[in-house]
Structure formats: C-alpha cells, structure tokens
A and B are shown apart, each in its own frame.
Chain A
Amino acid sequence: MNLFFSPQTKKLQKLSWQLRQDLIDMSYYAGHIHIGGSLSALDLILSVYLSDIFNFSQNKRMRSPPVVDASKRTDDNFILSPGHTCPALYVVLAYLKYFSKVELKNYNKMGSILQGHVSKDVPGVLYSSGSLGQGLSFASGLALADKLDKKSRYTICLTSDGEHQEGQIWEALMFANKYKLNKLINIVDCNKYQINGSTQDIMPLDDLAAKYIHFGWTVKEVNGHDFNQITKMLKLAKQSDRPVCIIAHTTFGKGISFMQYDYNFHSLDRLTDFQYKKAQKEIKNHLK
C-alpha cells in the first residue's frame, strides 16, 4: 500500500466517487445498462483521460466540433473494446465537457448520441463497438498507421478479461509484436467475472501476464483502483520498445457493496428504489 497520495491522486479518487454516482444515476434512469464492468473500468478510463500523461486536449471543447479527420487529429487515441462498458467512458467524457452532462439521462433513449454500446457519434469517440474481441485489432491498425507516418501519438486500448476468450485478441497480440507497436498500450480490466459466472469457471485465462510475455509484449500488473499505481505504470508504459499490456486487477461492481463480485449485476434493466438509495448512501460516505 502506498501511503503517499499526491494531490493529483487525491483529486482522481474524489472524482472517481463522483462519477460512480453518475453511473448509479444512469442505472436508475436507463432502460438497460451494463453496470458491473462499467464500475470496474471507471478508474482506468479516468486515469487515461485525467492524469495528464496522455494528450486529450483537442476535442475537449463543446463549442468546437470534434476533429475526426485522422490527418488533423492531434489527440492520443483511446479505444474502448468492450462496448458494453461505455457508461464508464460516457461519464468521463461528460465530466470533460465533450458533451453536456444532461445527456447522461438520455442514455440509450431514441435519438440520443449515447447509444447502449459505445458509438463513434459521441464527440471524442473514435470507434463504435459492442461485439467483443475486435477493439485491440482496430487499435493496432491505428498504431501501425501512426508508426508508418512517424507520428508520436499513443494508442491506448481498454479490453476486458472475458473478452480474451475471443481468438481475435491473440491474433492482435501476434500482430502488435510483429510490427513492434511500441506506442500501443492495452489495459486489461481484469474484474474476473463475465455474464454467467467467474472467468475462472466459464473459461480460465490462467496466467494472463505469462501469456502476454510469450507473445512478445511488455507486461505490468497493477491494482486497477489505485491511482498511484495506475498512473505510474502508464508513465512507464510510454517508454517501452514493445507493445505494452497493463493487467489491471479490478473489482467487478466496484464501490457498491451489493454489486461487488456478483455477476448477476453484469447488466440490469433498472435499479430498484431500494437499491438506488442504498448505492447513493454508500457513495456519499466515500465523498465525506
């Protein structure tokens, strides 16, 4: 345990609980939401966007239209491969004013930019997904283009652990190694659960770090809710001469007692009044 918390870490910690509140609000107002994985991925996405390690300044302003033209884009790339955990990305982008926060209430409503699975129509989002296993390959394509164009941009991809059961992930690992995509960083949200049980029961990934190492990647392991550790590793990742995998050990349903480690909270139609109040209370305690 790191006893020293920098002001930045403290800021991220507080923000993490505030945005958890947004996620809980969405779970109360939404028609359907994947909450377990969104709560586990939140701190990782927050670190990517708010730790000043990467550059996400260009698309921030609501007033200027998002820059989508690849040749004019100067921001680093972020790709969310498990499209179902998009609520976690949406609350971060709303906080950064990529779009108005009011829009969160319209999540998956007809006509809203905030689709049930992440969509490129959201300002700042490069890639629509929902079908698991494709995002890391897409990110590798982006990273290769930058490498060939001699751009210094970083491509950060977030993948989920269950998603690693898809063969395509392993095809991407070989590809990134072959082309030495050293500006590609894959953060794995290892929350150890999927829809119908623990990843260990459904299809064990066993020693994921060893597998990545054998595929030629640089591997770091972190506690995915410890901002000190995450930001330290993200900084280190920028210096690698190979593609980097950060295995982030996270808690499924992080922060809400009755959701933690319960795969039945993979997705839900709507929180009950009782659940909503309880979750709100728990978050409030952390914000005190």
Chain B
Amino acid sequence: MSNKKPTLSSTRQAFGDTLNLMASKNKNIFVVSVDLKSSLKLSKFAKKYPNRFIECGVAEQNATAIAAGLAKSGKTVFLCSYSSFSPAINWAVIKQSICYNNCNVKIISAHSGLLTSAYGATHQMLEDIALVRVLPNMEVFSPCDAIETKKIISVVANSKTPAYVRLVRPDTPLFFDKKLSFTIGKSHVLKKGKDITILGHGPILHSAFQIHNQSLAKLSLEIINCSSIKPLDSKTILKSVKKTGRLIVIEDHQKIGGLGEAIAHLLLENNLSPKFIHLAVDNQFGQSARHCQELYDYYNIGIKALTSAIKKIIS
C-alpha cells in the first residue's frame, strides 16, 4: 500500500461531462433541474440544449412528477438535485410517479454523506440509501470516484428503469481501475486478499487503501467496491466472505437502512455468520466541520476507526 498522495477529482464534474457527451448522441436525454444547475455541473448542457434542460425552480416535488411525465413520453430524464432534497422531500412522488408508474427517470443526487462538511446536519444526507433502496423498481448506485461515475452514468443513460446515483460535494481520490467496466448488479474486487473482506460504497472506501499500520502489515485485505447497492452482487460478496470469514462494511451513511444492513440480511439468508463490523453513522445527525476527516473521526468511520475494526476483527 503506497504512501503516495492520491489524485483528486469531482464526481459531479464527471457526471456533468458525461451527460453532456451522451446528450450529443442521444437526443432523448433530458435534464430536470431545481436551481442546482451549476452545482451539478450542468451549465454547459443548459446552454447547448436549452430545450432539453427544464428548470423547475426550488420545487422538488413538482419537478419529480414532471420528470416522470416527460419519461412516460419517451424521454430519458435526469432529475438532478442534492440527496437532502431528492429523495428526501420528494420521496412519495418518487414512489408513486416514478417507481409505481415505472418511469425512466435517473435521480442524480449530489452532496451526500458527511462529505458535505461545512453545511451541517441539514445538508449531510445520511439516509438516502435507506429511502431509495426500499422502493420496488428502483436501482441504486454509489460510485467510489469520478472514473466510476462516468461509467455508471453511461450505463444508466441506456437503461430503461428508475435509478438513483449518489454523488458527493468535494473532489475525492481516484482509485477505480479505468480498465474495469461497470455492470448493473456487479461488484468489483479492487484488491484480492484472504484475511478480511472490506466492503463499502462511495469515496469513503478509499480509506481501506490507506491503512499503513505496521502491526497490520502482514494482513491480507480483500477490498470490494459495492457500488451496485441494488441489485447487490450476492455471488461476489458471498464468495469473498466464505473465504475470509471476516467482514467489515464501511459507508458514509446511517447504519440503519444502509448497505451494511442489506449485506447482513444477505448473509443471514445464506446461512453465513462471519465476524462482522459495520462502520457507519450510528443513529446521529451530522454537524458542520471545515474538514471532512474531522467528521469521519468523530463519527467513528475514519481511518482510525477502520484500523481499530481490523484489529478487533482479527483478535
């Protein structure tokens, strides 16, 4: 594991750029915006395709059903906001207008998790996965970095089902293998190992590559990027856990309703009971901080917490 400083890049920029590119080939791609155009890096799109950029103002519920109506008329609609508002304010509209009516709307939500540091609790969305995971017809994806964001956006733009894609505010480390392709329902083993499975979604998974503790140097960690939260890649996950017998799930989300819960359920249904630690926010609200690492430490989901979890799970 190297000490090199990772290259940082923006998942939001990756989204905006990819959509822009795809829209030039696919005239059916529409954006429904709620006054967060610049934040989701859609200014170019809006300029280039004014007729396919629909600005609804700060009105998430209205925008959501409008997106569903456009989709029912054959458009591939990207509904773009922050996760604190979409799927939070518009959840019942997502359930009825998008999911129950099975409309081709992609919900792209930035500023997820504690990574929205300075803004504080109302803008640190820690419940979005729980909200969308529970909805029939909805697929849920959480890219680990900008490279994977590009791949996920290209894939969902060509699918016909409702989907949720979780993005974040700051630039985050690049660590997804460029050569890998993204497939719905498929997880990637980013590093093979045999002692402990570390599994997570989103940029926080990068901390698994930053464990530089001497006493742990001999351990072989298997690191799995579980960006496809729904559908889950049960095959890859079960195979790894059977091999290691130890599982740590790490995520920038509430414990309740998060990926960890989905995995625990998967394991139980398959009669597996590995040693299991779930690193996630434990029934608390977020708070403001200038640096996200301070929050990760405070809520016990940072590198220190991961190091302790590794020590605990092998003891």
- Listed in ascending order, the chain A residues whose CB lies under 8 Å from chain B are 30-32, 83, 108-110, 112, 114-117, 119, 128-133, 162-163, 165-167, 194-196, 202-203
Contacts and interface: CB of A to CB of B under 8 A. Distances in A.
B36 A196 contact: yes
A127 to B, nearest CB: 11
Given A110-B290, A110-B294, A131-B84, A117 B122 contact: yes
21 contacts: A31-B117, A108-B119, A108-B288, A112-B288, A115-B121, A115-B287, A116-B288, A117-B121, A119-B120, A119-B121, A130-B120, A131-B85, A162-B58, A165-B56, A165-B57, A165-B59, A166-B60, A167-B61, A167-B62, A194-B35, A196-B35
B127 to A, nearest CB: 13
Contact of A130 (B36, B117, B119): B119
A163 B85 CA distance: 13
A229 B114 CA distance: 43
B137 interface: no
Contacts of B289: 108-110
Contacts of B294: 110
Contact of B36 (A31, A112, A195): A195
Interface string B114-130: 00011111110000000
A32 B291 CA distance: 11
Question: Which 3 A-B pairs have CB atoms at the shortest separation, nearest pair first?
Answer: A130-B122, A203-B57, A165-B57
B287 to A, nearest CB: 6
A119 B118 CA distance: 13
A117 B56 CA distance: 24
Interface string B29-46: 000000111110000000
A113 B60 CA distance: 30
Interface of B: 35-39, 55-62, 84-85, 88-89, 117-123, 287-291, 294-295, 298
Contacts of B119: 32, 108, 116-117, 130
A69 B298 CA distance: 30
B233 to A, nearest CB: 34
Contacts of A108: 118-120, 288-290
A130 B287 CA distance: 12
Contact of B123 (A31, A116, A202): A116
Contacts of A31: 117-118, 290
A195 B59 CA distance: 14
A117 B123 contact: yes
A195 B38 contact: yes
B293 to A, nearest CB: 10
B35 A162 contact: yes
Given A110-B290, A110-B298, A112-B288, A194 B58 contact: yes
A110 B35 CA distance: 28
Contacts of A131: 84-85, 88-89, 122
Contact of B35 (A114, A115, A119, A202): A202
B62 A129 contact: no
Nearest to A82: B58
A30 B38 CA distance: 21
B122 A32 contact: no
Contacts of B117: 31
Most chain B CB neighbours (cut-off 10 Å) among A110, A117, A130, A167: A110
A129 B122 contact: yes
A95 to B, nearest CB: 22
Contacts of A109: 288-290
Nearest to B89: A131
A117 B120 contact: yes
A114 B58 CA distance: 25
Contacts of B122: 83, 117, 128-131
Contacts of B61: 167
B118 A32 contact: yes
A119 B55 CA distance: 30
A116 B36 contact: no
Contact of A116 (B59, B84, B120, B291): B120
A163 B57 CA distance: 9
A165 B36 CA distance: 14
